[in-house]
Amino acid sequence: MNIIFDNHEFSKPVRISKWQPPKAAGIYVILKPDLSISPIPLKPIYFGQTSNFAERDLLKSHEIYNWVKEPKSDDGIFIAIYLMLGSTEEERKIMVAELIAKYRPVCNKKYKSEK
């Protein structure tokens, strides 16, 4: 089942440890389990954008890779993506900013600086 954020249909969430990134541009959301949410019990903890999901170590080289510390392993962390083929970096950044403003994920620095 795909997951919806702000009327955008992201891919079905998969465990980060099992993810096979496509060679494409888009938005990604990092999710952690939260049983208080339905129908998919996953909560967004980070939104980001990339020109190529398949970029070497996209997630592990990321400055905010601390998301694995919460559930204590990669296995408890999920990722879903929204493909934006032919998009510009500016278009992706605008969408990420809108998602951050609406969902206020705990690992996005922009949100933390607004607290």
Dump pLDDT digits (tens) for 97-113.
999 999 999 888 765 54
Would residue 49 count as lying in a domain? yes
- Residue owning tokens 């019990």: 41
Domain that holds residue 29: 3-108
pLDDT tens for residues 8-60? 999 999 998 889 999 999 999 999 999 998 899 999 999 999 999 998 777 76
Residue 17's CATH number:
3.40.1440.10
Q: Is 3 helix (H, G, I), strand (E, B) or coil?
A: strand
Using pLDDT thresholds of 50, 70 and 90, give the confidence band for residue 62: low
What domain count does the chain have? 1
Give pTM, 2 decimals.
0.85
